[in-house]
Amino acid sequence: MHKEILEDIGEKELINRIRKFVPKNQISDDCALIKTKHENLLINTDSLVENVHFNDITICPEDIGWKAVVSNISDLLSSGSKKTIGVTISLVLPPRTEWIWVEELYKGINKALEEYGGVILGGDCSKGVEKIISITAFGVQGELELRRNACKPGDIILTTGIHGLSKLGFLIKNKINFDNEYSLNKRLIIKSIEHFCRPKVYPNFLNNLLKTRSNKNIKRIGCTDSSDGLFQALQDLAIASNCKAIINYEKMPIDKDWPKGDRWDEYYFFGGEDYELVFSLPKKWAKNLSKLDKNINEIGIFADGEPSIEFKDYKQNKLFNNTPYKHF
């Protein structure tokens, strides 16, 4: 009998199959939701696995700790969390791990919590053959519910920050030599490494959203983060909201020294780990927000149609045929 293994199934299909074991609507977003009588809690779990998500060559333990917290807070924020309550930390560590590694990891964890709020609520620790840091983060649902499935045809698609930098930082840390083809300037190199090692979440996002909302009746907007890459984020929104994303390639915010070419487009759209927000708003709201906050850019529009991504002014097929971020 043919034995079906995960490698053959692929990550997307695996997640789809696992979803079938789960009550409807509980697992198709960045966060899970617990309703209590007074306020709703947002919960997010993310695991970082050695040699899959990190290794000792490209990133130091303090940065891993920071990043593990930030990736969780980014998911909370992209669901509309107004406050981070705290995190639980589940560690798996090989017995030959040095104590200093654990100490540095917690230094990074606590620095990120100092920066973004929240405390360590608990955790456990087991031995294993590779290091794994699994963090569950808790936040309080704010007034605006940000959900993957809340994009509407006619909504403007927006994004914070610049994509691709984290991927470039990762490649530089892996000593990929670009010098033969491109001369990367020093500023871009430093910025990319910073984005890879010490990603930030977007500070005033929720406040600015609330400030610029003209219609107080709108309580749900479409949103996710670009942790698995910009393309994946757009695809997740399109599928969950059942509409078509039409992207204006010319309007994508890029670093002023970002090289041109297919390879760089690939880093930009599929790189991942940028933790920028990708979201959609009604026209007027979008205009108000991008006027108030110069780091937010309109990059396209959602339209009626099969869930898909279309580039308005670009040979999109090349990108389409690319494989998004995958683990299996």
**What is the binding site for a second copy (CB under 8 A)?**
3-7, 9, 11, 14-15, 17-18, 21-23, 26-27, 31-34, 36-39, 41, 43-47, 49, 51-53, 85-86, 88, 90, 92-100, 102-103, 106, 109-110, 119-130, 132, 134, 136, 138, 327-328
Structure tokens at 158: 């927006």
Q: Strand pairing partners for 119?
A: 86
Q: How far is the CB of 258 from a second copy (least distance, A)?
A: 29
Return the H-helix or E-strand segment holding 298: strand 296-303
Nearer to a second copy, 70 or 286 (CB): 70
Q: How far is the CB of 5 from a second copy (least distance, A)?
A: 5
- What gap in Å lies between CA 115 and CA 109, rounded to an integer? 10
Nearer to a second copy, 275 or 302 (CB): 275
CA 30 from centre of chain:
9
Q: Strand pairing partners for 46?
A: 135
State the CB neighbour count (10 A cutoff) for residue 323. Answer: 7
Nearer to a second copy, 114 or 262 (CB): 114
Is the Cβ–Cβ distance between 158 and 296 less than 8 Å? yes
Nearer to a second copy, 98 or 181 (CB): 98
Q: How far is the CB of 71 from a second copy (least distance, A)?
A: 11
- What gap in Å lies between CA 184 and CA 171, rounded to an integer? 12
Nearer to a second copy, 1 or 57 (CB): 1
Q: Sign of torsion, CA 245 250 253 257?
A: positive
Nearer to a second copy, 93 or 289 (CB): 93
Return the H-helix or E-strand segment holding 285: helix 283-292
Q: How far is the CB of 125 from a second copy (least distance, A)?
A: 6
Q: How far is the CB of 16 from a second copy (least distance, A)?
A: 11
Q: How far is the CB of 42 from a second copy (least distance, A)?
A: 10
Structure tokens at 118: 């929240």
